[in-house]
Structure 1
Amino acid sequence: MKKIVGVLGVAFCLMLAGCASQKQDTIEKRNTDISKDLTYDHSMELEYAKMFAVDYYQNDYALVTIADDGKYLIVPEGESVPEDMDKDITVLQQPIQNIYLAASAAMDMFVATDALDAVRFSSLKADGWYIEEAKKAMEDGDIIYAGKYSAPDYEMILNENCGLAIENTMILHTPEVKEQMEKFNIPVLVDHSSYETNPLGRTEWVKLYGMLTGHEDQAEQAFDAEAKAFEQVSDQDATGKTVAFFYITTNGEANVRKSADYLPKMIELAGGSYIFDDLGNEEEATSTVSLQMEEFYAGAKDADYIIYNSTIEGELSSMQDLLAKSPLLEKFKAVKEGHVYCTTKNLYQSTMELGTITSDIRKMLTGDDADLTYLYKVE
């Protein structure tokens, strides 16, 4: 079984690499000559992000390109839209206000850039937020619930002049929602930060949201602080320890991060090795893959450490909670040796804390787990 997993994993990883390469080609081969009225000046400097680009033009116009998904012309307040511009370019007129934020992972970036006042609608209710600033804004009525991403309240969004809907890639499974938004002249931008293979690439999306909301300086400062946090934790020796990161779904499968995902990269930066070094996905560029428990056992049973992802199915309160999910887990090396950890529920929303999360993984691997922020030991 393990050999089968490995062979399939190699094939899947090659397909994933091809998909990622195609998306990056969209960025690298983009055309900056979009109108005779716009003169290209320079591009945003990006160190790690590969899934978006920003090109600046004279008079403060900017073109945002999202990998394989769309182009957006940012038009400064008081300026006009070029008449000869391609119809496939979506216009975003500044100031961009009353944003409907369905990409919950982006909320931390709005908080970090002091741009929370640009968000008016949320796809989560107040009790669904673990970011205190977002939760308080909803309790105060500054941000209101406008329906989940797959069933938004179109009337509410329209009545309050939504300037932009920011969706995560789940919207690609319900394309009719995106189409309906656009029929109502509500521009839709799909956040592809989860497709970044480097954690700092995901964090670097803060520069995009800073640019959209006029908080570029704050975005640069927020990114630089996170980059320094990574430097501190990654400049250390490898531990030689392997790690499995997963959760058990309601139908009894193991949901596992792909090898090219940013979380395995964080494990590597922390000095560990992700137990699945060749696991990919056949076609879809999703960040996870589901395995039957027998298949998961074959690949992960010898992992030195287990990190259980609580962001979907909830936190573990004891080892019994873990073992109740599958009897096979009792046979895992990490379970036998007491090296089982669980994430806190706020891990996924804390996109501007990836350096701290990586530091937690490092502490786990070195036995210094008395003061963790986003992980805790399961006894």
Structure 2
Amino acid sequence: MEKRFLIHLLLVSTILLSACKENPKKETVTPIKSSVKYAKGFDIINVNEETKKLIIKNPYLNANESFEYILSKNKQKDAIHIPIEKLVVTSTTHIPMLEVLNGEELLVGFPNTKYISSKKTRALISNGKIKELGIEADLNTEVLLDLQPDAVVAFSMNKTNKSLQFIEKNGIPVVLNGDWLEETPLGRAEWIKLFGVLLNKEKEADSIFNVIEKNYLEAKQLALKATSKPSILSGAFMQKDVWNLPAGESFVAQFLEDANTNYLWKDTKGKGSLSLSLESVLDKAQNADYWVAPGYFNTKEEMLQKNKIYSDFTAFKENKLYTPNMKKGSTGGVIYFELGPSRPDLVLKDIIKITHPELLEDYEFTFFEVMK
């Protein structure tokens, strides 16, 4: 009996020792998420000191899938090596984010280079350092593949983009950027952190965004000191009988809310635009105090040539009509569309200057001006 007990004890001990050898205790490292505060379309997870995971949660309109990219400081299979050394981007909104991180020299190709307004990047285009790649929807893939960028940061309107699919099949990673789908001004600006991680400049990107956030929130607080809350009309006829203007849950409506104004369609649903009849707009906004961003028009005369009814609005008659379309780069690109998404603090200050000029007496417009 004693002998059987000793044998049993020996067997148990052997099994336990074997288990300890086969399953050594590993130190668990809990991934730490980045400080993404406003943006809903992406996240960055620190896997370890050398590796990060970039998650694009909202890559295109009505997407029901997300994309994950492994970013590594060590060259490894199926990972994007960071920092990026050669880059292609496809939207002018990406240019200011690259520039503020001193990353414009990494840019080797861009579609429709004529729309880029920044003087720094235009100089690179003039010197032949940035190649023309055609148009966003139909990239010149032959030129792009010759450039052999480390990655392409692109935006896509839908799941199927043959140019981007072809690029990926040829071994060049495509990172989908959904900044244009963000619902808040600060959410859009926060996508600078995506470029921060690609360029291995996360601390710089965080610091830059923190300043923009601080400026924006301070401007928002300043607007609350206004003694009036003027009514706002926006948009114009974009098709024959349809007036398009921002929906109440859009980022444009958020700007107008944060500027302490009464946007007349603030209570409507939707994050994009509304399509309304002339009668409904005229009934609601004929006597609006200000008209901000009247579509693609550059002058009041252009508006009247399109439709005489514009002259029936009080804001039109009293020259309280403001547009960001007039300030352009040397090749015709509208500066607002390029720089505005990354500098919501300046956009908000412009709107406050329009609607509460007494609060920013010495401030000069960055984007908007009175339409003449």
TM > 0.5: yes
Q: Is the 8 A contact 1:112 1:352 kept in 2?
A: no
TM superposition shift of 1:143: 1.6
1:47-96 Cα distance to aligned partner (Å, 9 max, x none) = 21121111111132111111244333333233434xxxxxxxx7322232
SS in 1 for 2:335: coil
Query: Which residue type is aligned with residue 230 of structure 2?
Result: K
User: Which residue does the alignment assign to 1:52?
Assistant: 42
Residue type of the alignment partner of 1:142: K
Gaps of 5+ in 2: 1-25, 60-65, 326-333
Displacement of 1:153 in angstroms is: 0.8
Q: Deviations over 1:220-269 (max 9, x none)?
A: 22112211221231113253112223244365643322322222211211
Note closer, same or farther for the CA distance 1:173–1:130 as it changes in structure 2 (3 Å cut). Answer: farther
* Gap change, CA 1:229 and 1:68, over 3 Å in 2: closer
CA distance in 1, matches of 2:258, 2:33: 29
Q: Which has the higher contact order (CA 8 A, sep 6+)?
A: 1
Separation in structure 1 between the aligned mates of residue 39 and residue 162 of structure 2, nearest angstrom = 29
Whole-Å Cα distance in 2 between the matches of residues 120 and 45 of structure 1? 30
Q: Which residue of 2 aligns with 1:26?
A: none
Q: For the Cα contact (< 8 Å) 1:301–1:331, is it kept in 2?
A: yes
Distance between the aligned counterparts of 2:92 and 2:141, measured in 1? 19
Equivalent positions of 1:203-352 (< 5 A) are: 203-236=189-222, 237=224, 238=226, 239-249=228-238, 251=240, 253-281=242-270, 287-308=272-293, 313=296, 316-317=298-299, 319-344=300-325, 345-350=334-339, 351-352=341-342
Counterpart of 1:263, as a letter, is: V
Choose from 97, 102, 105 the match for 1:109.
97
Aligned-partner SS, 1:59: coil
State the Cα deviation string for residues 333-373 of structure 1 (Å, max 9, x = none). 31233211111421111133221111111011024588322
Q: Quote the Cα distance in structure 2 between the aligned partners of 1:138 and 1:250.
A: 35
Map 1:1-379 to 2 at 5 A. 39-69=29-59, 70-81=66-77, 91-125=79-113, 127-170=114-157, 172=158, 175-236=161-222, 237=224, 238=226, 239-249=228-238, 251=240, 253-281=242-270, 287-308=272-293, 313=296, 316-317=298-299, 319-344=300-325, 345-350=334-339, 351-367=341-357, 371-379=364-372
Q: Structure 1 length as normaliser, TM-score? A: 0.77
Letter paired with 1:378: M
TM-score, length basis structure 2: 0.79
Identity between Structure 1 and Structure 2 (%) = 19
In the alignment, the residues of structure 2 paired with residue 63 and residue 354 of structure 1 have an alpha-carbon distance, to the nearest angstrom, of: 27
Separation in 2, partners of 1:94, 1:316: 43
Number of equivalent positions: 326
Determine the C-alpha separation between the residues in 2 that align with 1:343 and 1:55: 37
In structure 2, C-alpha distance between the alignment counterparts of 1:59 and 1:219, rounded to whole Å: 18
CA 1:144–1:235: 2 relative to 1, 3 Å = same
> Residue in 2 aligned with 1:25?
none
| Kept after mapping to 2: 8 A contact 1:114/1:218 | no
- After superposition, the CA RMSD in angstroms is 2.7
Report the CA distance between 1:174 and its aligned residue. 5.3
Match of 2:12 in 1: none
Distance 1:260 1:294 in 2: 23
How many angstroms does 1:290 deviate by?
4.1
Q: Residues of 2 paired with 1:337 and 1:303: CA distance?
A: 11
Report the Cα distance in structure 1 between the residues aligned to 2:27 and 2:141, rounded to whole angstroms: 35
Q: Alpha-carbon deviations, 1:302-330, whole Å to 9, x = none?
A: 432112256xx3x523x222222322212
- Say whether the 8 Å CA contact 1:243–1:303 is kept in structure 2: yes
Q: 1:246 to 1:136 in 2, by over 3 A?
A: farther
TM-fit CA distance, 1:276: 1.4
Distance 1:231 1:253, change over 3 A: same
